Structure 1
Amino acid sequence: MGKWSRAELKESFDKLMDVTDRCFISDPFDLTDWLHCYTDDVVWHDLGSGFNNGWDQELNGRVAVNQWLTASLSAAKASPLNAGPPDTEMKYWPVPWYILDEERGWALCEWQNRMRDPGTGAVFEEKCYSQLIYGGNGQWRFEADIYNPTRLRMMKVRWLNARRQAEAANIPMPPLDLDWGLRLVDQEKELGQSWSREEIQRAFDKYIACAQGKPEDHANCFTDDAAYRELGFGFQNGWQEEIRGRKTILNWFTQRSNTFPDNQRQLVPVSWHVIDETRGWVVFECLNQMQDPGNGTVFQMRSFSRMKYAGNDQWHFKEDIYDPVKMRGMFERWREVHDSLK
């Protein structure tokens, strides 16, 4: 039994979603209620763009969070073309799914970073995974957000182009509309089956073991019609985000296993995982760790993944999300050290 009940966790998570929806479209703009959804000493990790122009990945304290967010929005409003499409027009954060872990007091979720309607009705959004740790009294003491900042920036560019086209056609910006902003698009289909936590755990343990073995064993953990979504480097040099079918997945695994950097990875530690037995899901954090370059230095980079179980020790869906620029930087630093020690 965890320190807090599932009911309290759900109430606090629902409150965070509701307050987020209200505060970020408030006029005059006021984030006071949103900030108080977090403890005074909250720790915030941004594993995408980061803070301080990307040099930091952690903020400590609610005051620091407020200062960072206020400065970011002020800069975007003052010089939107230099800062990229104006972040002040990112108004909605619909949540397609979330998982509560009452044993640890955690909430895991996907937020869609959605821009306001540019005037065409088109939806421009990019996903982010978040890990939240509860601190009691309706407040959260930790948040880690992970996303691909390159994809996020390109989404904003597409939105800005759509807005400029609307302006050229004398189409005004529609008023803010939460019903429009929070509706879910492209919802995933589920199998509608459930399995015991014990079976899912055994299948997950087997998957992690196979993922560190031969490509054939790894691929056999997926169903014939499985979908694999890669929101970091992607496939086909980044032009494709999803592949389908076990044979295609096997070809990709085989190609990776024979080339750098995957042929220099060692075991893939899993920092944590959460099981949702109702849907047959597992969400986990992976430390993509390289082999010892020769001097004992540890090179690794975090990623989050979500998998959907299909029974018989097989999975029918996997999605990985991380910052490919940071991942590539880690690979390059490893190679520099490795080559210097030859």
Structure 2
Amino acid sequence: MTRPTFSRDELVAAFETFEQTVARAAETKDWDVWVEHYTEDVHYIEHAAGTMHGREQVRTWIRRTMSVFPGSYMTSFPARWTVIDEPTARVICELDNPMRDPGDGTIISATNISIVTYAGDGKWCRQEDVYNPLRFQRAALKWCRKAEELGTLDDEAAAWYAKQQAGTTP
């Protein structure tokens, strides 16, 4: 089967729209607008959460992930850099995942590599997120320690933090 080809301009424009939608979703917490940028049969590989098949599985996962700490404290997901790979219709990028200010202007974040495959008509048919979950855990722990120090650690984050401290943390 031959993959359709898309111009660099179309890939760049589609990814810019995708990024704007992600920014809007992060701001409003309406993840449905983000999910609508995927094809109905999207193949989404999230190494810590597993592989999802179809838009509805992605929707369920993102709503759950972004409604509890630490996901709910991530404020944006800007691309630090991108590579447009025209022959494969892919955009490869490093995404930053900064957490909200713990109260003193500190920026705490972790990054991941995302590989998204374009299907045309503004839709993406595949995404793979590659990262080290321990780096995200360390960032969330650092955020909790800072918020605790500043007296801004709320109940949700404190419960997560206590659970982490009860186990072995890096």
**Shorter-chain TM-score above 0.5:** yes
Quote how far apart the aligned CAs of 1:129 are.
Answer: 0.6
- The residue number in structure 2 matching 1:61 is 54
Quote how far apart the aligned CAs of 1:62 are.
Answer: 0.6
- The residue number in structure 2 matching 1:140 is 124
- The residue number in structure 2 matching 1:100 is 84
Instruction: Determine which structure has the larger helix proportion and give its number.
Output: 2
SS of 1:92's partner is: coil
- The residue number in structure 1 matching 2:22 is 20
Q: Distance in 2 between matches of 1:87 and 1:144?
A: 18
- Deviations, residues 7-28 of structure 1 (Å, cap 9, x unaligned): 11000101111111111111xx
TM-score, reference length from structure 1: 0.42
TM-score, reference length from structure 2: 0.82
Aligned with residue 118 of structure 1, among 92, 102, 109: 102
**Contact 2:37/2:122 (8 A) holds in 1:** yes
- The residue number in structure 2 matching 1:128 is 112
Q: Distance in 2 between matches of 1:148 and 1:14?
A: 26
Quote how far apart the aligned CAs of 1:166 are.
Answer: 2.2
Would you identify which runs of 4 or more consecutive aligned residues in structure 1 move more than 6 Å? none
- The residue number in structure 1 matching 2:148 is 164
Instruction: Give 5+ residue unaligned stretches, structure 1.
Output: 52-56, 77-84, 169-238, 240-342
Quote how far apart the aligned CAs of 1:103 are.
Answer: 1.6
Structure 1 residue 45 and structure 2 residue 40: aligned? no
Q: Distance in 1 between matches of 2:65 and 2:100?
A: 18
Q: Distance in 1 between matches of 2:65 and 2:121?
A: 29
Quote how far apart the aligned CAs of 1:71 are.
Answer: 2.5
Q: Distance in 1 between matches of 2:22 and 2:139?
A: 21
Q: Distance in 1 between matches of 2:126 and 2:70?
A: 27
RMSD: 1.7
Q: Distance in 2 between matches of 1:140 and 1:32?
A: 15
Q: Distance in 2 between matches of 1:135 and 1:143?
A: 11
- Deviations, residues 181-216 of structure 1 (Å, cap 9, x unaligned): xxxxxxxxxxxxxxxxxxxxxxxxxxxxxxxxxxxx
Once the two structures are superposed, the pairs formed by residues 229-308 of structure 1 within 5 Å of their partners are none
Aligned with residue 10 of structure 2, among 4, 8, 11: 8
Quote how far apart the aligned CAs of 1:68 are.
Answer: 1.3
Quote how far apart the aligned CAs of 1:114 are.
Answer: 1.1
- Higher relative CO (CA 8 A, sep ≥ 6), structure 1 or 2? 2
- The residue number in structure 1 matching 2:156 is none
Aligned length: 150
- Deviations, residues 127-183 of structure 1 (Å, cap 9, x unaligned): 101111101101110000110001110111101111222226xxxxxxxxxxxxxxx
Identity %: 29
**Contact 1:92/1:116 (8 A) holds in 2:** no
Classify 1:99/1:149 alpha carbon distance in 2 versus 1 (closer, same or farther; 3 Å).
Answer: same
